[in-house]
Structure 1
Amino acid sequence: MNKLANKMLKTRLTISAVLVAAFLSGCASKIDTVSEQNAINEFVAKAAVAEQLTGVDETSWWKGLDSSQLNQLVTKALANNYDLKTSQLTLKSALARLGEQKAQYLPQGGIEIGAQRSGLGDVNSRQSSANLALDWQLDLFGRITALVDAANASAMSQAEQVRLLQIEVVSSVVKGFVSYQGNVEKQHIVALQIEALEQSIEVLQARVDEGVANELDLNRTMAQLRQQEALIPAIEYAKYRDLSTLAVLTGNLTQDVTLTNEQTVLEHEFTVSLSEPNNAIALRPDISRALYNFSQANSLSVAASKALLPDISLSGFAGVLSISSTELRDTQQQWQVAPQIQWSILSYPALLAQRDAQQFLSEAAYSDYQQVVLKAVSESELSLQLLVNQTQQKRFADERYEFANKAFLQAEAMYEEGQIPYLELLDARQDVLIAQENAVDSTISSLLAKVNAYQSFNGRWSYALSNTNK
């Protein structure tokens, strides 16, 4: 008897140890995202990116361009963009699936009411019943908890995908608007040059007819005119391309998008300023999404490990039965409670393979998470390098235009005094044209570099944007 008692005690202790171990491992099914976020903050702080841009809050940064047209386009895009709507609906689906998974904590079952009438020879029988049946999967080992954690991480990942799309939509709208206004300005410059060349051709043609000038000057001027006229179709296409981009972003057809000329945007003082540069990187949605993807993979890995343990469930029913009537008369009560343990021991090879596969996926997700963090820091640094580079190029382009314009005015005065031939005046004019176009291109590139910087340092303003649109 003592041996039997000792054996039973050891068995109970063993079972208790298994249950405790399973419970503790079940608690580890969810990644500590707060701890991981702190680690990201420390990593980003070591990189010391964009400290020189610390300043005012970057929330609604595009409003710094002071354009009501642009503000309306951004508002329409956030409300009407179809990719954004699709992602938001997918998020609602993920949240519904999370609710479905959480419901697995509760007993499952339903009500069954039935009646039947049968006959065998001359004997007829009637029967009716009404039952409430349930099946309750007890989450003693944490498998359901792990699946709930995985569903929650999937929903959070999709929420970050929505934020990613909002960043892309806002940035693309600003870029498209700036590009359109830049192309309008370039078209205006080319039109002025064409008008000046046409006036020169009239003068030269009269001088050639009088024998004062040769046809070389005339042909050179005609060549320059055709060169400028050839730029018009390309600029028209570029403008239409910008309108088409804005139309898709705002959920409209191209012909429904109308913009007025607003070249003051190109001249507006617009600088990049970040309230908390480190958080602007650490809170980026691509980093958060990679973290939630890792959390989901880890939770699924834990769930696969829990599948190796027994499933313990409790099923039962309660109801009434009438064996002489199809109308639930003269009923008798009936009930049943059936605890059940199911252990798929023979399926262990397949379950072990599934566990190993999911563990490798979890490791892969963590590796991808680390790569995303590193890539985000690198992308942010590159955006700053581009910003500095384009700022310098714009300064040089503006100075080049100033000197070219001074040279043209000097050449024009010298030509009127007969000190230089007309061809040199044409060369000076061509230099001004090229310098002016280059200055406009540099202005556009500089603005786009600033937009790109805000797009890279998007963590804080995208959170503010998401909270505004909830």
Structure 2
Amino acid sequence: MTKLMQKRVTRQLSACAVLVTALLTGCASKIDIEAQQRAINDFVANANIAGQLSGADESNWWQQLDSAQLNELVADALVNNLDLQTSQLTLKSALARIGAEQAQYLPQGGVNIGAQRSGLGDTNTRQATANGAVDWQLDVFGRISALVDAANASAMSQAEQLRLLQIEVVSGVVKGFVSYQGNVAKQRIIALQIDALQQSIAVLQARVDEGVASELDLNRTMAQLRQQQTLLPAIEYAKYRDLSTLAVLTGRLAQNVAITDEQLILQRDFSVSLSEPNQAIALRPDISRALYNFSQTNSLSVAATKALLPDISLSGFAGVVSLGSNGFSDTQQQWQVAPQLQWSILSYPALLAQRDAQQFLSQAAYSDYQQVVLRALNESELSLQHLVNQAQQKRFAEQRYNFANNAFLQAQAMYQEGQIPYLELLDARQDALIAQENAVDLTISSLLAKVNTYQSFNGRWSYALSNTNQ
């Protein structure tokens, strides 16, 4: 991004901060989520990040790789991932707490039935009672409403956390699968080189024995063989690491993850295309979650402020009492209605401190919300820069391999004609090998950069994914 573009984005971001602050001024019991979302949409639209990637819809973007194995792994992960299951249960708990807070609008109470028998000297008494008691706290000043708003915001925040986890799981599965296939490709290249070096050693040993070649050629070839052989354990570990990653994401053990070789995945046309890039940023779950967290702390701050005001409630009971009997054969009715006003004046210092503490938390949540927006924008911009960078490196690496391979073929022909010594042929072969490994590495890096871009611009496809899995 040029300096001019950076200055433009900085100015727009500052304008967005002013707009958000204005929207929050004088807010009552809860944050206007819709107004906040519109502000974010407008700001990102003005920034116009990734407009060059506008195109097809990005839902189920990993299916572009046309791999049945990968599609099955993604589906398994969305069903069996333990982190997702934990988050789903936590969301259900948060939804249940909404009902608990809403129940405070209704009268509270219960029914009590009892009987007793007592004696004092020669006098025995019996009594039976049955009554129902009701206590109804009137939400005159809106404290209960603020607590309900906080519970709603908490549930929405947890829903966004679930969506965030789904993004991480899907992206992690695709990265692990691509990395595994890349390591298989590198292992094949190394195996071919080891085989070629072993054949060369057999030929050289025979020529050394005949006195035609020197031991220098043989020893250098043996050294290159050992160099390639030392790479095999690292490749095996990398493959196991990829399997272990996929195992954790799909809720199973690594030994139960079976992936077949699918090298065509490294050659398929996998491009980044976003239907609405601006919306893909604005709808990111980390932004939405930070906004709901701010809304929750703001509502709790309002509730703490309302706690400074009197509590007005209406209590009463109605029942029957039977004197001289443990049954209800001879009863008398009794009832009572008692309006109450309770004001914790002596607790004011503690209530004021609680209010101040909650207001500071609300301000902290707002600062965090702004930081999340900034981080999301910079992360999206960085992913685009990385995408372009990896594409350029991949193109140069492929050109390098083509030149190195042509040079090796030429050296091979020249060696057979006796024009160059064997060591030059060996060097040309090594150059071609290194270039081929580098090309594979950058092919993998380019694919992972595309996955990272989809992971950064996740707002729309993650919503579609959440709706599909509900």
Specify the TM-score bucket, using the shorter chain as the normaliser. over 0.9
Alignment partner of 1:150: what SS? helix
Q: C-alpha displacement at 1:353, in angstroms?
A: 1.4
Deviations 1:304-347 (A, max 9, x none): 11011100000001111111211122111111101000011111
- Whole-angstrom CA distance in 1 between matches of 2:75 and 2:405: 41
* Alignment partner of 1:88 is 2:88: yes
Alignment partner of 1:140: what SS? coil
- Whole-angstrom CA distance in 1 between matches of 2:27 and 2:409: 79
**Partner in structure 1 of residue 223 of structure 2:** 223
Deviations 1:387-436 (A, max 9, x none): 00000000000000000000000000111111100000000000000000
Q: How does 1:30-109 map to 2 (within 5 A)?
A: 30-109=30-109
Q: How does 1:293-304 map to 2 (within 5 A)?
A: 293-304=293-304
Q: Which amino acid aligns with 1:423?
A: L
**Partner in structure 1 of residue 451 of structure 2:** 451
- Whole-angstrom CA distance in 2 between matches of 1:115 and 1:183: 79
**Partner in structure 2 of residue 7 of structure 1:** none
Alignment partner of 1:318: what SS? strand
Alignment partner of 1:329: what SS? coil
**Partner in structure 1 of residue 22 of structure 2:** none
- Whole-angstrom CA distance in 1 between matches of 2:190 and 2:328: 92
Q: C-alpha displacement at 1:27, in angstroms?
A: 8.3
- Whole-angstrom CA distance in 1 between matches of 2:123 and 2:402: 112
Q: Which amino acid aligns with 1:433?
A: L
Q: C-alpha displacement at 1:246, in angstroms?
A: 0.4
Q: C-alpha displacement at 1:354, in angstroms?
A: 1.2
**Partner in structure 1 of residue 7 of structure 2:** none
Q: Which amino acid aligns with 2:121?
A: G
Q: C-alpha displacement at 1:26, in angstroms?
A: 11
**Partner in structure 2 of residue 115 of structure 1:** 115
Contact 1:280 / 1:460 at 8 angstroms: preserved in 2?
yes
**Partner in structure 1 of residue 334 of structure 2:** 334
354-363 or 72-81: bigger deviation: 354-363
- Whole-angstrom CA distance in 1 between matches of 2:361 and 2:336: 43
- Whole-angstrom CA distance in 2 between matches of 1:221 and 1:414: 19
Contact 1:318 / 1:334 at 8 angstroms: preserved in 2?
yes
Structure 2 residues without counterparts, runs of 5 or longer: 1-24
Alignment partner of 2:252: what SS? coil
Q: Which amino acid aligns with 1:187?
A: Q
**Partner in structure 1 of residue 409 of structure 2:** 409
Alignment partner of 1:124: what SS? strand
**Partner in structure 2 of residue 322 of structure 1:** 322
Give TM-score, length-normalised by structure 1: 0.94
Contact 1:26 / 1:142 at 8 angstroms: preserved in 2?
no
Q: C-alpha displacement at 1:360, in angstroms?
A: 1.1
Q: C-alpha displacement at 1:348, in angstroms?
A: 1.2
Deviations 1:123-172 (A, max 9, x none): 11111111111100000000000000001100100010000100000000
Alignment partner of 1:270: what SS? coil
- Whole-angstrom CA distance in 2 between matches of 1:132 and 1:282: 53
- Whole-angstrom CA distance in 1 between matches of 2:415 and 2:27: 88
Q: Are the structure 2 counterparts of residues 437 and 26 from structure 1 closer, same or farther at C-alpha, using a change threshold of 3 Å?
A: closer
- Whole-angstrom CA distance in 1 between matches of 2:182 and 2:326: 83
Q: C-alpha displacement at 1:219, in angstroms?
A: 0.6
**Partner in structure 1 of residue 247 of structure 2:** 247
Q: Which amino acid aligns with 1:435?
A: A
**Partner in structure 2 of residue 469 of structure 1:** 469
- Whole-angstrom CA distance in 1 between matches of 2:324 and 2:67: 83
- Whole-angstrom CA distance in 1 between matches of 2:245 and 2:87: 19
Q: C-alpha displacement at 1:46, in angstroms?
A: 2.1
Contact 1:110 / 1:132 at 8 angstroms: preserved in 2?
yes
**Partner in structure 2 of residue 344 of structure 1:** 344
* Alignment partner of 1:189 is 2:180: no
Contact 1:26 / 1:146 at 8 angstroms: preserved in 2?
no
**Partner in structure 1 of residue 274 of structure 2:** 274
Give TM-score, length-normalised by structure 2: 0.94
Q: Which amino acid aligns with 1:114?
A: G
Contact 1:26 / 1:141 at 8 angstroms: preserved in 2?
no
Q: Are the structure 2 counterparts of residues 310 and 154 from structure 1 closer, same or farther at C-alpha, using a change threshold of 3 Å?
A: same
Q: Which amino acid aligns with 2:410?
A: Q
User: Matched residues, percent identical?
Assistant: 80
Q: Which amino acid aligns with 1:225?
A: L
Alignment partner of 2:308: what SS? coil
Alignment partner of 1:113: what SS? strand
- Whole-angstrom CA distance in 2 between matches of 1:336 and 1:59: 63
- Whole-angstrom CA distance in 1 between matches of 2:345 and 2:320: 38
- Whole-angstrom CA distance in 1 between matches of 2:445 and 2:26: 53
**Partner in structure 1 of residue 284 of structure 2:** 284
- Whole-angstrom CA distance in 2 between matches of 1:392 and 1:366: 40
Contact 1:390 / 1:449 at 8 angstroms: preserved in 2?
yes
Alignment partner of 1:118: what SS? strand
**Partner in structure 1 of residue 212 of structure 2:** 212
Task: Please tell me the root mean square deviation across aligned C-alpha atoms, in Å.
Answer: 1.1
- Whole-angstrom CA distance in 1 between matches of 2:460 and 2:284: 8
Q: Which amino acid aligns with 1:101?
A: E
**Partner in structure 1 of residue 135 of structure 2:** 135
**Partner in structure 1 of residue 10 of structure 2:** none
